[in-house]
Amino acid sequence: MKNVDSAFHVTGRSIYLDDIVVQQGTLYALPYDAPSAHAHVKKLDLSQAMAVPGVVRILTYKDVPGENQIGGIIPDEPLFVEKEIHFWGMPVALIIATSEDIAIQARKLITIDLEELTVITDPREARARGELIIPPRTFKLGDTKKAWAECAHVFEGRADTNGQEHLYIETQGAYAYPTEHGSIRISSSTQGPTAVQRTVARVLGVPMHKVEVDVTRLGGGFGGKEDQASAWATVVALASFLLKKPVKLAMHRMDDMRMTGKRHPYSSDFKIGLDKDLKIVAYEATFHQNAGASADLSPAVMERTLFHATNSYFVPNVEVTAYCCRTNLPPNTAFRGFGGPQGMFVIESAIAKVAQELGVSAREIQRRNLMQEGSEFSYGQIAEHVNATPAWELADKTFDFDTQQAEIDTFNAKSETHKKGMAIMPICFGISFTNTPMNHARALVHVYQDGSVGVSTGAVEMGQGVNTKMVQVAAQVFSIDPSRVKLESTNTTRVANTSPSAASATADLNGKALEIACNAILDRIKEKASRMLDPGSSPGQARPEAITIVNEAVLNNGQSTDLDWQQLIHACHWDRVNLSESGHYATPEIHFDKTKEKGHPFAYHVYGTAAVMVTVDCIRGTYVVDAVKLVHDFGKRMNDAVDIGQVEGGVVQGLGWMTMEEIVYNDKGRLLSNALSTYKIPDIHSVPKELRIETLPTDGHPMAIRRGKATGEPPLMYGIGVYFAIQNAVIAFRAERGEGVAHMVYSAPYTPERVLMDLYG
């Protein structure tokens, strides 16, 4: 089935936040943000800005009727600066004007006197100063301290990854207007409508039922709107609430880049030990997560780093510790993979280090250590339905790693200026929110009397295609044409207490809730059909189990009848059968005990293996990705276009993070890569020349929607292979010149500048 949104997207008819028809009297909001990363505010002067004609009001923390606090996990994040600034870009005030242009003019006239304080941007320095947001956490399996003695080889090293700007095409924004009885309605570009509702209620000092949040769709989220949409919805809600006017904010790109957090940079140390057969015996890692100025989602992101610290490998002795380090950067946040990729990069670096030091191929180490059925993860979950080796073997069989490597070696022997490199990247990603209580969802289904269907769920459509999957679920359960099903906006008054659309779990959780609701309606209409087709029977004698609906035809004992879907629904309505239902689904089986750091947190894991080939120009340090060929564990693929699209996008976003996306703050904590002229993301020239995606044939997983596994986050991590493929090309170049690689560090992004330094350093 085609994506229900594609035609509207490409013809410009889809309605994003900034496309909502504005109401008469709408005012425009613009944040004035801190021009320093750490300072005391001595004096804030708004008088000149207030004097600009068209400026209606300028709000500060003093105008907040409830709490000036938006921290979700930990209440450590003021909405507006009070006395102290914690990061460059922190909102200080909100200008409300009759037009955006006037607000921009007024912003230039605000002055602030500051007493500058010490700025920390480095997570290791933060840890050394005791600036931790939560106490460190450690996941442990076996006993690494004892295990080192059993190892034939032990290596240590350091691996760093930089952040990543979400760069959703649609920037952050919200539009609020007052409704009756002191209530407020907000259209928000958020992955978490309930998070917005809760935050607005807290800041306004009103109960949640006074706040309605509506989301039609987002022009991208990638985690950046899981928590960080709330601030912007809250400031417009505050303005609208106080002024009793509609108020809108659609952020400018540079404002968005400066004021919002990004993927967490990590600086990590590793120690790895192997036996003489290259089996990994022990692995230790220390992760320094650069959390930024407040918690935001950092503790949860840090947790996922620990969950994925050993990627696809079984390691009998593991000890991994993570530090959530407070720095004076914008609070870093969720980003596709949610800390998992940062953890996986470190063990892949450790394996690369072993390969370089011992002169063996990394893929031999990888292959020998893949998770097997019944292997234990460091967090206590026993691996079941393990597809690590099957994915690897199918990839090897299909793409022929040895032949690929031989071709690369032949090329390298002939070419002086260009070298090719290959790396294999296996992935293993757990599906479920690691915070178990978040794993539930609701759906509300109305079958209208004409047989058309309206579906509301807690799922937010952000380009990932979840609406299409929800249409498929309803159409398949009812066995009706998908054109009869409409996905409504995500709205907190229709579906309440939603978890954010995140953790790759949105289609599973909301789809299962939707199945439950549709099945309940289906049972009632079958009961009615049975009575209609067997008129002598009383309600107690009806045999609904004999009724099936197939492609809108109503069958009785498998025989066709004169009744179809539309007639049946019409009859149900006039017989007062309830054609609406709410479904609730909570993921079974999962649990996790944070006091022991053990449990069974994931419904299932997604596996896959990618082979990555690159060519490095050893004169310039530039490179092209020749191919990414992968076998992915889709389960029973539910929608080819949506699922393949997610893998393609994930690979490209992952290789962008690994190679070119470079976030730079100066030592004062000011963002230098603050526009698309200074922050480079993949374009059509940087995508792999060949991107081949094969499906691992399996029966799928019963806890995945329609047995089709989650595809949101896992494929991003194939991009990590690009880093190591480039590095292998660099190693080939150096080897030819008789130079070692001992100086090489593991630090992404591997920009052409860094490649040059590795080639000749």
**Candidates 335-343, 409-417, 645-653, 734-742 — which segment interacts with ligand MOS by CB under 6 A?**
335-343
Query: Does residue 348 carry a catalytic annotation?
Result: no
Pairing of strands 547-550, 490-491: unpaired
In terms of CB distance, is 225 or 528 closer to ligand MOS?
225
In terms of CB distance, is 502 or 568 closer to ligand MOS?
502
- Is 597 among the residues that bind ligand MOS (CB under 6 A)? no
Catalytic residue, candidates 713, 736, 739, 753: 713
In terms of CB distance, is 338 or 746 closer to ligand MOS?
338
Residue 446 is encoded by which pair of tokens?
A: 């109305």
Q: φ, ψ for residue 120 (rounded to 5)?
A: -115, 125
Mark 216-241 as b/e (b = at least 16 C-beta within 10 Å): bbbbbbbbbbbbbbbbbbbbbbbbbb
For residue 380, count other CB atoms closer than 10 A to its CB: 17
Among 168, 314, 335, 429, binds ligand MOS (CB under 6 A): 335
**Candidates 123-131, 308-316, 328-336, 391-399 — which segment interacts with ligand MOS by CB under 6 A?**
328-336
Q: For tokens 């706040």, name the residue.
A: 211
Residue 264 Cβ vs ligand MOS, minimum distance, rounded to whole Å: 11
Under rule CB under 6 A, which residues in 207-226 are in contact with ligand MOS?
223, 226
Which three-class secondary structure state does DSSP give residue 224?
Answer: coil
Among 27, 39, 64, 334, binds ligand MOS (CB under 6 A): 334
Q: Which of 292, 290, 248, 299 is nearest to 268 (CA)?
A: 290
Q: φ, ψ for residue 416 (rounded to 5)?
A: -90, -40
Q: Rounded to the nearest 5 degrees, what angle is found at the Cα of 332, between the Cα atoms of 718 and 189?
A: 85
In terms of CB distance, is 317 or 342 closer to ligand MOS?
342
In terms of CB distance, is 334 or 355 closer to ligand MOS?
334
- Is 303 among the residues that bind ligand MOS (CB under 6 A)? no
Residue 512 Cβ vs ligand MOS, minimum distance, rounded to whole Å: 18
**658 neighbors 688 (Cβ within 8 angstroms):** no
In terms of CB distance, is 502 or 614 closer to ligand MOS?
502
Residue 101 Cβ vs ligand MOS, minimum distance, rounded to whole Å: 33
In terms of CB distance, is 338 or 401 closer to ligand MOS?
338
- Is 305 among the residues that bind ligand MOS (CB under 6 A)? no
Residue 146 is encoded by which pair of tokens?
A: 């004892």
DSSP string, 1-12: ---TTHHHHHTT
- Is 296 among the residues that bind ligand MOS (CB under 6 A)? no
In terms of CB distance, is 234 or 434 closer to ligand MOS?
434
- DSSP state for residue 212 in the 8-state scheme: E
**Candidates 1-9, 240-248, 333-341, 611-619 — which segment interacts with ligand MOS by CB under 6 A?**
333-341
Residue nearest to ligand MOS (CB): 223
Containing 119, the helix (H) or strand (E) segment is none
Under rule CB under 6 A, which residues in 189-208 are in contact with ligand MOS?
191
- Is 353 among the residues that bind ligand MOS (CB under 6 A)? no
**715 neighbors 294 (Cβ within 8 angstroms):** no
**Length of the chain in terms of residues written:** 761
Under rule CB under 6 A, which residues in 226-265 are in contact with ligand MOS?
226
Q: Which of 720, 722, 723 is nearest to 744 (CA)?
A: 723
- Is 734 among the residues that bind ligand MOS (CB under 6 A)? no
Lay out the site mask for ligand MOS across 482-521 (x = CB under 6 A, - = otherwise): --------------------xx------------------
**421 neighbors 726 (Cβ within 8 angstroms):** yes
- Is 338 among the residues that bind ligand MOS (CB under 6 A)? yes
Residues in the interface with ligand MOS (CB under 6 A) total 9
Containing 466, the helix (H) or strand (E) segment is helix 466-478
Residue 631 Cβ vs ligand MOS, minimum distance, rounded to whole Å: 24
In terms of CB distance, is 336 or 494 closer to ligand MOS?
336
Q: Which of 379, 429, 156, 396 is nearest to 274 (CA)?
A: 156
Q: What whole-number distance in Å separates Cα of residue 460 and Cα of residue 455?
A: 13
Residue 712 Cβ vs ligand MOS, minimum distance, rounded to whole Å: 7
- Is 336 among the residues that bind ligand MOS (CB under 6 A)? yes
Which three-class secondary structure state does DSSP give residue 142?
Answer: coil
Q: What whole-number distance in Å separates Cα of residue 717 and Cα of residue 343?
A: 11
Residue 334 Cβ vs ligand MOS, minimum distance, rounded to whole Å: 4
Q: What whole-number distance in Å separates Cα of residue 372 and Cα of residue 3?
A: 36
Three-class DSSP labels, 356-399:
HHHCCCHHHHHHHCECCCCCECCCCCECCCCCHHHHHHHHHHHH
Residue 156 pairs in a beta bridge with 271
Q: Which residues are catalytic?
A: 713
User: Which residues make up the interface to ligand MOS (CB under 6 A)?
Assistant: 191, 223, 226, 334-336, 338, 502-503
